[in-house]
Amino acid sequence: MPRLFVANRGEIACRIIAAAQALGIETVVGVSEADRDSLWARAANRALVLGPAPARQSYLDGRLLLHAATASGCTALHPGYGFLSENAAFAQGVADAGLAFCGPTPAQMAAVGDKLAARALARTLGVETGQASDALEDAGAAASAARSLGYPVVTKASAGGGGRGMRVVQAETGLAAALAAARAEAEAAFGDGRIYLEPFVESARHVEVQAFGLGDGRVITLGTRDCSIQRRYQKLVEEAPAVAVPEAARADMEAAAARLLGAIAYRGAGTVEFLWDAARGQYRFLEVNARIQVEHPVSEMVWGIDLVQWQIALALGRFEPPARLVPRGHAIEVRILAEAVDADGGFRPAPGRITGWQPPPGLRLDSGFAAGCQVPPFYDSMVAKLIVAAPTRALAVARLQAGLADFRVEGIATSIPFLRRIAGHGDFIANRLSTRWLEGAFMAGVRSAA
C-alpha cells in the first residue's frame, strides 16, 4: 500500500493528509516539537517528531525529513508550499532515496525556479517578458541599468519569491541602499544574493495562471487568478478568474503558460505569474512557482477539482486526465493571520492559544487550527483560508462579507476585522484594484479614519 510522507505543517499539511486519505493512501507527517500535538499530527496515520521548533532544525532540515520518510516506510513525499518545496537539491534527494516526489523534477525546478533563467526560456518561446536588467554585479551596473530602464524601478531576487529582495526605487539617490538591502535579504532567504531590475508599474494587476503538467509536454491550464491585494508583496486576497483583465488577454496568458511549461515537459502543479499593465493594456511574464500555491483553492472551486489529489495521483502513476473541464462562477479566498492589526494598519504577530473558534457554516475553510490549539511564534502567521464561491463575482463578494462577519475567534488576535474592512470597501466591491491599492488608497483611508 502506498504511504505518503508530508513534509510540511499547518493547513497545507491537513489538506495533503485529507487528499491522500481520500485516495486510500496512508500518511506520515514530520512535525517539530512545537507541533507534536497539532491537528495535522493527529490527522495523519503516524506523526514523527523531527526536532526542535526552529524550522532550520526541523522543517528545513532535508536530511531529517528524508530519514523520517524512509525509516517510516513511505513510498512518496509531498512538500506542500514554502520550506523545501522548491528546493531542487531536496527534490533530488527524494528521488535518490527512491521516493516519488509530488512535484516537478529537480531539472524542471532548476529551469524555472531561477527567475533570470525562466525569463530567458520565456523569451526563446516568444512569451512577452518586458524589459529587465541582467544580474547586477555592483552599484555602478545597477545605476546604468536603472537609467536605461527608467525610474521608478524595482529590485528582484533571481532566486525564491514571496517578495524577498523586492524594493521600489524612485530615484538614483536611493538605488545603492535598496540594492544592498535587497541583496542581503535574498542571500539570507535563499542563499543566493543575485539581484536584477525591472521597470516598476504603478497601476498593475498580479495575474496567475494555474497549470498542471502531465510530464510529457501536455499541460492542462485552469484559468486565471487575480492576486493584486498585497501587503509588502504578500498576498492577502485572491480570486478566480481575473475578470478585470480582458478575456482575450487572459486566453493569451494561458496559452503562454502552457507553451512555457510544455517546453520543459513540466510535471505536476505549477503557477505562471504575469503582470497586467492596465494603463497600457499589456501583460508581461514574471515568474514560475514550481509547486502548489497557497491560493490554489479558488481555482479548485471554479473548476470543481482537487489539485492536491491530482499531484499525489500523478506522482504515483495513477492520474487520469479528465475528459472535460468546465469552469463555473467566481471564487474568492482571504488569508486569516494570527496578527493584531493596529488602527493605523500596523501588523503585529499574535501567537497564543485559541480558546474559541467558530467559522461561518456552509463555507470552505482550509485550516490547521481550532479551539484549544496553540499557534506557535516560530512560523508563518497564517492560521486559515476562508474560501467562498458563487455564480458571479458580486454574489461571491456578498458571501465573503457575510462569512467574515460571522467568523469568531477568541484567545488570539486575527486579521479578520482588517479583512472585513477590505471586503466592504467600495473599490473592492467594484473591482477597482491594483497591486498598490492596499498600501495606497486603502491604507490612507484606514489612517485617516484612525
Closest residue by Cα to residue 420 from 433, 408, 435: 408
Superfamily of domain 204-449: ATP-grasp fold, B domain (3.30.470.20)
Can you give the pLDDT at residue 317?
97
Question: Quick one: what percent of the chain has pLDDT higher than 90?
Answer: 86
Q: Could you give phi then psi for residue 410, rounded to 5 degrees? A: -125, 150
Can you give the pLDDT at residue 185?
87
DSSP strand pairing (153-157 vs 195-199): antiparallel
Neighbours of 193 (CB within 10 A): 19
Spatial distance between the Cα atoms of 224 and 193, rounded to a whole number of angstroms: 31
Neighbours of 439 (CB within 10 A): 15
Can you give the pLDDT at residue 3?
98
Closest residue by Cα to residue 6 from 98, 78, 92: 78
| 149 three-state secondary structure | helix
Spatial distance between the Cα atoms of 62 and 122, rounded to a whole number of angstroms: 31
Answer yes or no: are the C-beta atoms of 249 and 276 closer than 8 Å.
Answer: yes
Spatial distance between the Cα atoms of 20 and 6, rounded to a whole number of angstroms: 10
DSSP β-bridge partners for residue 352: 375
Q: What is the mean pLDDT of the chain?
A: 95
CATH 3.40.50.20 range(s) for the chain read 3-102
Q: Which amino acid, residue 406?
A: D
Superfamily of domain 130-199: ATP-grasp fold, A domain (3.30.1490.20)
CATH 3.30.470.20 range(s) for the chain read 204-449
Is 393's pLDDT higher than 90?
A: yes
Handedness of CA 435, 436, 438, 442 (dihedral sign): negative
Answer yes or no: are the C-beta atoms of 169 and 155 closer than 8 Å.
Answer: yes
DSSP β-bridge partners for residue 224: 209
Lookup result for grid cell 458571479: 392
The DSSP 8-state label assigned to residue 371 in this structure reads: T
Can you give the pLDDT at residue 446?
85
Q: What does the buried/exposed string (b/e) look like for 380-413 if buried means 16 or more CB atoms within 10 Å of the residue's CB? A: bbbbbbbbbbbeebeebbebbbebbeebebebbb
Can you give the pLDDT at residue 313?
98
Can you give the pLDDT at residue 210?
98
Is 82's pLDDT higher than 80?
A: yes
Q: How confident is the model at residue 203 (pLDDT cuts 50, 70, 90)?
A: confident
Residue 164 is among the residues annotated as catalytic for this protein: no
What would the pLDDT profile of 114-163 be if each residue is shown by its tens digit? 889 999 999 999 999 988 999 998 889 999 999 999 999 999 988 766 67
Q: How confident is the model at residue 106 (pLDDT cuts 50, 70, 90)?
A: very high
Answer yes or no: are the C-beta atoms of 105 and 81 closer than 8 Å.
Answer: no
Spatial distance between the Cα atoms of 197 and 213, rounded to a whole number of angstroms: 30
What would the pLDDT profile of 333-392 be if each residue is shown by its tens digit? 999 999 998 877 789 999 999 999 999 999 999 999 999 999 999 999 999 999 999 999
How would you class 259 by CB atoms within 10 Å of its CB: exposed for 0-12, middle for 13-18, buried for 19 or more?
middle
Q: How confident is the model at residue 395 (pLDDT cuts 50, 70, 90)?
A: very high
Q: Between vectors from CA 400 to CA 396 and to CA 401, what angle results, nearest 5°?
A: 120
Q: How confident is the model at residue 228 (pLDDT cuts 50, 70, 90)?
A: very high
| The model's pTM | 0.94
Can you give the pLDDT at residue 405?
98
Can you give the pLDDT at residue 165?
85
User: Which helix (H) or strand (E) covers residue 307, if one does?
Assistant: helix 307-315
Q: How many CA atoms lie within 13 A of 307 on its CB side?
A: 28
Spatial distance between the Cα atoms of 445 and 14, rounded to a whole number of angstroms: 37
User: Which helix (H) or strand (E) covers residue 356, if one does?
Assistant: strand 356-358
CATH topology assigned to domain 3-102: Rossmann fold (3.40.50)
What would the pLDDT profile of 183-201 be if each residue is shown by its tens digit? 988 887 777 889 999 988 8
Spatial distance between the Cα atoms of 448 and 246, rounded to a whole number of angstroms: 34
Task: Pick the catalytic residue from 9, 284, 291, 335.
Answer: 291
Spatial distance between the Cα atoms of 26 and 90, rounded to a whole number of angstroms: 22
Closest residue by Cα to residue 105 from 200, 215, 16, 211: 215
Closest residue by Cα to residue 102 from 280, 269, 326: 269
CATH 3.30.1490.20 range(s) for the chain read 130-199
